[in-house]
Amino acid sequence: MQPSDMSAVDLVTAVRQGDLTALRATEVFLERIERLDGQINAFLAVDREGALRTAAAIDAKRKAGKPLGPLAGLPVAVKDALCTSDLPTTCASKMLAGFRPPYDAEVVARLRAADAVIVGKTNMDEFAMGGSNENSAFGPVHNPWDLTRAPGGSSGGSAACVAADMAPVAIGSDTGGSIRQPAGLCGITGLKPTYGRVSRRGLVAFASSLDQIGPMARSAADCALLLETIAGHDPGDATSLDLPVPAYGTDLERPLEGVRIGRVPAHFGAGLDPEVAHAVEEAFAAFRAAGATIIDIDMPHADAGVATYYLVAPCEASSNLARYDGAHYGHRAEPGGHRAEPGGAPASGGGFESALVEMYCRSRAEGFGPEVKRRIMLGTYALSAGYYDAYYAKALKVRRLIRQDYLDAFEKVDLIGGPVSATAAFKLGEKSGDPLAMYLVDLYTVCTNLAGVGGISFPCGFTKGGLPIGFQLQAPALAEPLLLRATDRYQHLTDWHRRRPAIAARPR
């Protein structure tokens, strides 16, 4: 069996037992990246030499009888929003083109300590702002199931590289669905953990009260393997939860008898594609057959989720992205429109102060793409004098109501199920001219982030056109073991997650 056909759990076991070398596993995935990524554009940087060097060192440790980390030999792709000291971190933006951080994000450091092999950095919507991965300054990612369609966003590169078997697992980040929605559109499994379960230190911030890092893989078992390494307290992150990390992979086979899954009838209203609705209902039936109880519940404020999210997130983005002014690092433009490297003095004329302001304005105008600018302006407007109470303060009150909906629901059920997105993957360019239509792709995912709870997405069927359909489960805070167990039980009853796009099955 080729390493690209193996699960992450089996791959790590094979390396540990000496049945497969880390070097061989890494070479196979690097070869697939080289052969396939020209069509998909999932990677912004590939560290071939560094990955092979790391893999060889892991093999040497095993031969010497030294202890190996829990992810020994496992190739991992990392979203380009996480800092890496040995690779550029661009957030798919001209603003950070070529930027190399002086340190690793905490999650990256944990991966390295666990003997994972980081093969490269994945493409994304610029600064994680988007639902299609068309907002990247370095070109869109193409969905491996249909290269004319979007992979979802903002972690589209991470989802696409796993779907095409260019990496067995990947790291994404989720602010309003950016792990779960691309996982659903690309036919893989993606977990958004409870806020604070995984350190955000070294994640370039979009909306700090919503951002969360999580695993993307073929299966729940593979996500559990990755989550055990990246979860846990980090003293360097004030929002990190100081709680023990469960052994997520040891409880997966427990049956679902007694587990109550909520179904929200309002999720099946106008706008939901009939093929998606049918697949989601079939998934509920499969859970029922596995012993779970399905209970209809109400989430009264869910219809306010998108409006609330698109006030809270842009307001936080407006603040977070204020640091990109051309004066400290990243893209800098001279007042005349010519690029100057950091440290260069602004052009003279009109006084130093006016030249400095012009440099700030030009640097941001040239460095940020249209969607980032749109969200910065929206957030700045909502935070401005005379509008703060009408918009941002009111959005925070509605956010509290949404969180209360979840608290009330979880007194009646253990999990909440439903669609990930209203349709399967849409055509590239189909929604890019209509920001509102694009924002509505987050309809079923944003409330998870607003409430700070956990959610997971996994395939539950395919359209007649052969596109994956995703199912979402949400759980109370820190209930990732139940999310993973329910998903694993479903994946033992179905084979949707084992299917591969034609591009991944082409001759090696």
Q: Could you say which DSSP state residue 202 is in?
A: T
Catalytic residue numbers read: 79, 154, 178
CB atoms within 10 A of CB 63: 10
Q: Is 5 exposed, middle or buried (0-12, 13-18, 19+ CB in 10 A)?
A: middle
Give me the residues paired with residue 263 across strands: 296, 417
CB 192 within 8 A of CB 166: no
Note whether 420 and 181 are within 8 A (CB). yes
**How are beta strands 117-122 and 75-79 bridged, if at all?**
parallel
User: Residue 65 and residue 62: Cα distance in Å, rounded?
Assistant: 5
Contact 120, 77 (CB under 8 A): yes
Q: Parallel, antiparallel, or unpaired: how do β-strands 189-192 and 169-174 relate?
A: unpaired
Buried b (16+ CB within 10 A) or exposed e, 347-358: eeeeeeeebbeb
How would you list the strands of the sheet with 468-475, edge to edge?
A: 43-46, 117-122, 75-79, 169-174, 212-217, 189-192, 454-462, 468-475, 415-419, 260-263, 293-296
Residue that is written with structure tokens 């956010």 in the block: 399
How does DSSP assign 373-422, residue by residue? HHHHHHHHHHHSTTTTIIIIIHHHHHHHHHHHHHHHHTTT-SEEEEESSS
Quote the distance between the C-alpha of residue 506 and its chain's center. Answer: 27
> Hey, what are 162's tokens?
């796993």
Which pair of structure tokens corresponds to residue 195? 């806020």
Show Cβ contacts of residue 291 under 8 Å, excluding neighbours closer than 6 positions: 255, 256, 257, 258, 259
How far is C-alpha 478 from the chain's CA centre? 18
| DSSP letter for each residue of 263-315 | E-GGGGSTT--HHHHHHHHHHHHHHHHTT-EEEE---TTGGGHHHHHHHHHHH
Number of helices and strands in the chain (H, E): 16, 11
Q: Tokens 């919507």, residue?
A: 125
Dist CA 425 CA 433 (whole Å): 17
Cβ contact 139:154 at 8 Å: no
- What tokens were used for 421? 């997105």
